[in-house]
Amino acid sequence: QRRMFTNVEMDNSTGVAVIKMNSPPVNSLSLEFLTEFAINMEKLEMDRGCRGVILTSSVPRIFSAGLDITEMYGKTPEHCGAFWRAVQEMWLKLYGSSMITIAAINGSSPAGGCLMAISCDYRIMTDYPKYSIGLNETKLGIVAPFWFKDTMINCIGNRATEHSLQLGLQYNPPEALKVGLVDQLETEDKLMTTASSVMSQWLAIPDHARQITKSMMRKPIIDQLLRQREADVQNFVKFITKDSIQKSLQMYMEMLKQKKG
Ligand SMILES: CCCCCCCCCC/C=C\CC(=O)SCCNC(=O)CCNC(=O)[C@H](O)C(C)(C)COP(=O)(O)OP(=O)(O)OC[C@H]1O[C@@H](n2cnc3c(N)ncnc32)[C@H](O)[C@@H]1OP(=O)(O)O
């Protein structure tokens, strides 16, 4: 039986779906997870009754740990290529969605987890000091590709992105609010109610005007990736299969395990 990585609950009375990521222990974004996520987004996009999506997590304390490192370590170039296509697809579906997308960030959200959040239209994060969010790729010895970087620039601006990406910064909730990485903080118990109430404000705007405006803002980056999608895959495969990068990933995974023990 196929495993489910996300639960989708559609409320037909409001036209809002809640996608709950549910892949313990850390909602890491595996090839299967990403494939299922993209299919779910596609189905909601095709559903004329669905106007908005709230993205959140069922896993305690974690929104998403980002890309599943085990999908990039010790794998064949073919596997790495298929994995990267799935990462691209997830981003294209989320960043390019015509629906209103709100991230209710109820836990830590490094790297690919942060990408998912900043690909949404609005972010509300639980105000808990131990949670963090940011694109920390350089800390793993890897480089965030241009479409991660440009998504971040569209969210927090050029200078803050440069600072944030070079240092691989992870922000706690008040810091994330200050830099503009999230739009609002909320207590754990009120997070989903607040997300629904923000959604209602966005739903009050006529869809066609909002959708054209959103597309105007995001289309240049999306088109840039679409134009060079296969080259981006080949870049990734070449980069990630290098011995030095594989060594960095191995050391990072060992560090994660040691931290635990
Ligand atoms: C020249 C340019 C060319 C372009 C090339 C492109 C290059 C590639 C770009 C790649 C882009 C994006 C990168 C990513 O998204 S990489 C993933 C980055 N993620 C992280 O750094 C997060 C790591 N995890 C954590 O910090 C913590 O786990 C946590 C999320 C804060 C949770 O902490 P916790 O204490 O609650 O849990 P923990 O004990 O650490 O973890 C539980 C088990 O889960 C495993 N695990 C954690 N994160 C991942 C992951 N991302 N992938 C796979 N597995 C993960 C962890 O090892 C534990 O496993 P085990 O129980 O010990 O077996």
Backbone angles phi, psi at 50, to 5 degrees: -100, 120
State the average pLDDT over residues 242-247: 96
158: tokens are: 């050029």
Q: Mean pLDDT for the chain?
A: 97
Which atom of ligand 1 lies closest to the CA of 253?
Answer: 57
User: Is 137 close to ligand 1, i.e. is its CB under 6 Å away?
Assistant: yes
**Rounded CA separation 213/203 (Å):** 14
Residue 65 near residue 204 (C-beta atoms within 8 A): no
Counting from 1 in the atom list of ligand 1, the atom nearest the Cα of 69 is 52
Residues designated as active site: 67, 112, 136-137
Nearest CA to ligand 1 atom 5: 236
Of 64, 67, 46, 47, give the one whose Cα is nearest residue 55.
64
Task: Verify whether ligand 1 is closer than 6 Å to residue 107 (CB atom).
Answer: no
Tell me how crowded residue 192 is: count the other CB atoms within 10 A of its CB: 16
Residue 61 Cα: closest atom of ligand 1: 36
Q: Would you say residue 1 has pLDDT above 70?
A: no
Whole-angstrom distance, CA of residue 198 vs CA of residue 124: 9
Burial group, residue 3, by CB count within 10 angstroms (0-12, 13-18, 19+): exposed
User: Rounded to the nearest whole angstrom, what is the distance from the C-alpha of residue 29 to the centroid of ligand 1?
Assistant: 9
Model pLDDT for residues 156-175, shown as the tens digit of each residue:
999 999 999 999 999 999 99
pLDDT for the residue numbered 141: 86
25 CB under 6 A from ligand 1?
Answer: yes
Which pLDDT belongs to residue 241?
Answer: 97
Write the pLDDT tens digit of every residue in 23-71: 999 999 999 999 999 999 999 999 999 999 999 999 999 999 999 999 9
Output the pLDDT for position 126.
98
Min mean pLDDT across 187-201, 208-222, 243-257 is at 243-257
Q: Give residues with Cβ within 8 angstroms of 98, minimum separation 6.
A: 45, 207, 211, 214, 215
ipTM: 0.96
Is the distance from the beta carbon of residue 145 to the nearest atom of ligand 1 less than 6 Å? yes
Q: How far is the CA of 26 from the centre of ligand 1 (A)?
A: 8
Residue whose CA is closest, atom 11 of ligand 1?
144
